[in-house]
């Protein structure tokens, strides 16, 4: 099954609106020749209007880092799905930093996924185990349970609009990236296997699954050469122009 690779830069709490617009104004010419790879930039909320305007008419997509699960209300500091409509195509849901610092539970991940879909936004659902779970042999079990919870009552026809990102917490921002063969086995076995149980093997084969955690140009080919890894969700290495371009270039090279 041929899946379009997807490389997304999650900028977390980096870049002011002006810096973000300046960055994408230069990124768009650097990425113009790599249109066979889907590229997404995921800036902080306040940079979204400027970034969206700057990328209008280009192939580069925009994403948000989170979304609230309710339509509106007294939720200080939060952003609702309808506020993102027209600004982004993608929204990251369940990133481990939101699970850890903002108390986003599995149940909330599921509600956010439903809310994003309701407004035509495409979820990038992030999941992955922590170090203790990895070391005690629970990684597959944890990923499976996060996945099943995230897809609770999600209809099969929504699947083409969803991307999954496997991000083991111990590999995020640590420089300790997960071994590519292990990631491939987990994506192809546990994640695609669970999706196949839920939705059938054809739907599972069609889904795009990214790896995230200390991805950089130096290890990109290793990951992108694996058949079940369909792209990357990248933090630190997506903040520099040359590095972002290299991630995309190497993806195209490895998947060609
Ligand atoms: P790093 O690439 O900085 O390890 O971050 C990964 C990540 O959390 C992307 O969402």
Distances from the Cα of 248 to the Cα of 18, 47, 125, 198, 244, angstroms: 24, 22, 21, 32, 7
Distances from the Cα of 194 to the Cα of 62, 145, 184, angstroms: 29, 9, 15
Tens-place pLDDT, residues 109-124:
999 999 999 999 999 9
Tens-place pLDDT, residues 56-72:
999 999 999 999 999 99
Residue 1: pLDDT over 90: no
Q: Which atom of ligand 1 is nearest to the CA of 213?
A: 4
Pocket test for ligand 1, best of 13, 169, 211, 215 (most atoms within 8 A of CB): 215
Ligand 1 proximal residues by C-beta, below 6 Å: 10, 95, 167, 172-173, 212-215, 233-237
Q: Which atom of ligand 1 is nearest to the CA of 42?
A: 10
Distance 237 CA to ligand 1 centre (A): 8
Classify each residue of 101-114 as buried b or exposed e, where b means 16 or more C-beta atoms within 10 Å of its C-beta: eeebebebbbbbbb
Percentage with pLDDT > 70 across the chain: 100
Domains contained in the chain, CATH given: 6-255 (3.20.20.70)
Question: What's the pLDDT score for residue 177?
Answer: 87
Question: What's the pLDDT score for residue 179?
Answer: 96
Annotated catalytic sites, by residue?
95, 167
Q: Which atom of ligand 1 is nearest to the CA of 212?
A: 6
Pocket test for ligand 1, best of 177, 213, 237 (most atoms within 8 A of CB): 213
Helix 139-150 with 192-199: angle, nearest 10 deg: 40
Give the start-end residues of each E strand in 121-214. Answer: 122-127, 163-166, 208-211
Tell me the backbone φ, ψ of residue 163, rounded to 5 degrees.
Answer: -120, 145
Closest protein CA for atom 1 of ligand 1: 235
Q: What are the tokens at 163? A: 């991307």
Tens-place pLDDT, residues 186-217:
999 999 999 999 999 999 999 999 999 999 99
How many helices (H) and strands (E) the chain has is answered by 12, 8
Question: What's the pLDDT score for residue 65?
Answer: 98
Tens-place pLDDT, residues 70-115:
999 999 999 999 999 999 999 999 999 999 999 999 999 999 999 9
Distance 256 CA to ligand 1 centre (A): 25
Distance 239 CA to ligand 1 centre (A): 11
Q: Which atom of ligand 1 is nearest to the CA of 97?
A: 8
pTM score: 0.98
Question: What's the pLDDT score for residue 256?
Answer: 87
What's the DSSP call for residue 8?
A: E
The structure tokens 């996060």 sit at: 146
Tens-place pLDDT, residues 12-34:
999 999 999 999 999 999 999 99
What's the DSSP call for residue 190?
A: I
Lowest-pLDDT range of 139-143, 171-175, 180-184: 171-175
């Amino acid at each position: 099954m041929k899946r379009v690779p997807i490389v997304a830069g999650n900028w977390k709490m980096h870049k002011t609106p002006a810096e973000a617009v300046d960055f994408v104004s230069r990124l768009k010419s650097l990425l113009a020749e790599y249109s066979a790879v889907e590229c997404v930039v995921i800036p902080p909320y306040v940079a979204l209007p400027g970034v969206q305007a700057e990328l209008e008419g280009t192939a580069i997509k925009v994403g948000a880092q989170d979304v609230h699960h309710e339509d509106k209300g007294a939720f200080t500091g939060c952003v609702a799905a309808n506020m993102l409509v027209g600004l982004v195509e993608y929204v990251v849901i369940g990133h481990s930093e939101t699970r850890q610092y903002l108390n986003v539970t599995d149940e909330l991940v599921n509600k956010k996924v439903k809310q994003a879909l309701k407004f035509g936004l495409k979820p990038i659902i992030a999941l992955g185990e922590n170090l203790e779970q990895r070391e005690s042999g629970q990684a597959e079990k944890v990923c499976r349970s996060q996945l099943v919870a995230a897809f609770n009552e999600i209809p099969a026809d929504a699947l083409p609009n969803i991307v999954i990102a496997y991000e083991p917490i111990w590999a995020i921002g640590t420089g300790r990236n997960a071994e590519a063969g292990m990631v491939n086995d987990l994506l192809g076995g546990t994640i695609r296997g669970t999706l196949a149980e839920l939705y059938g093997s054809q739907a599972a084969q069609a889904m795009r699954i990214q790896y995230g955690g200390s991805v950089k140009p130096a290890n990109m080919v290793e990951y992108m050469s694996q058949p079940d890894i369909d792209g990357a969700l990248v933090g630190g290495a997506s903040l520099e122009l040359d590095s972002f371009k290299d991630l995309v270039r190497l993806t195209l090279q490895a998947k060609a």
